[in-house]
């Protein structure tokens, strides 16, 4: 089992526990959990997270309402302002038991909409360069942070380069 698998498994256990504790006190009143992905469906990172969310929530009958911001391809201020308007309308009309945000853009969006989010618990996943200011308007936030290890990444790149060099010299 490699490092990414261990992190992913720990995250899934944490998520299952979080969702169970969130739902347990008032199971009869459970509403959908809103999942906002920063990126698009079909991106492997996003699809892996979604699969993990589904596997953790299905045994408990927790319905997920999933949306994608597509912010990898569209990042203009105009586009992000349109998303703010769309989600402001959505969060005004629909109330959720919890909101899960994946990556920085989704956390930014929900933080901007703190008035509409209110006391709804927010679970953040995959936040880069974490700073508490990224969610300073939200009442209830918890999550799993993405922490990179530059030394291990450089060592991996060097070993991959050596392996590639060895392949090129083999005939």
Distance CA 88, CA 123 (A): 19
Stated pTM of the model: 0.72
pLDDT of residue 128: 87
Per-residue pLDDT at 20: 57
Instruction: Identify whether the C-beta of residue 50 lies closer than 8 Å to the C-beta of residue 15.
Output: no
Ordered DSSP codes for 56-89? HHGGGT--EEEEE--TTT---HHHHHHHHHHHHH
Q: What is the pLDDT of residue 62?
A: 87
Residues of the chain with pLDDT under 50: 24-30, 163-171
Rounded Cα distance, 46 and 40, in Å: 7
Domain spans of the chain, in order of start: 3-169
The CATH classification of domain 3-169, taken from the options 3.30.70.20, 3.50.50.60, 3.40.50.2000, 3.40.50.2300 = 3.40.50.2300
For residue 155 the two structure tokens come to 């060592």
pLDDT of residue 74: 92
Q: What is the pLDDT of residue 91?
A: 93
Closest CA to 39 of 69, 81, 83: 69
117-145 pLDDT per residue, tens: 999 999 999 888 889 999 999 999 998 77
């Amino acid at each position: 089992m490699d490092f990414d698998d261990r992190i992913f498994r720990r995250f899934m256990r944490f998520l299952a526990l979080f969702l169970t504790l969130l739902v347990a006190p008032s199971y009869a009143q459970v509403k959908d959990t809103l999942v906002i992905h920063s990126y698009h469906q079909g991106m492997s990172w996003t699809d892996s997270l979604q699969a993990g969310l589904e596997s953790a929530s299905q045994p408990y009958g927790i319905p997920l309402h999933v949306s994608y911001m597509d912010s990898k391809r569209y990042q203009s201020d105009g586009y992000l302002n349109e998303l703010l308007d769309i989600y402001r309308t959505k969060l005004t009309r629909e109330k959720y038991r919890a909101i899960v945000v994946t990556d920085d853009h989704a956390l930014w969006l929900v933080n901007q909409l703190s008035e509409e989010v209110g006391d709804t618990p927010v679970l953040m996943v995959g936040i880069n360069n974490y700073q508490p200011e990224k969610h300073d308007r939200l009442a209830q936030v918890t999550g799993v942070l993405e922490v990179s290890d530059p030394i291990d990444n450089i060592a991996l790149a060097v070993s991959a380069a050596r392996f590639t060099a060895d392949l090129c010299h083999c005939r």
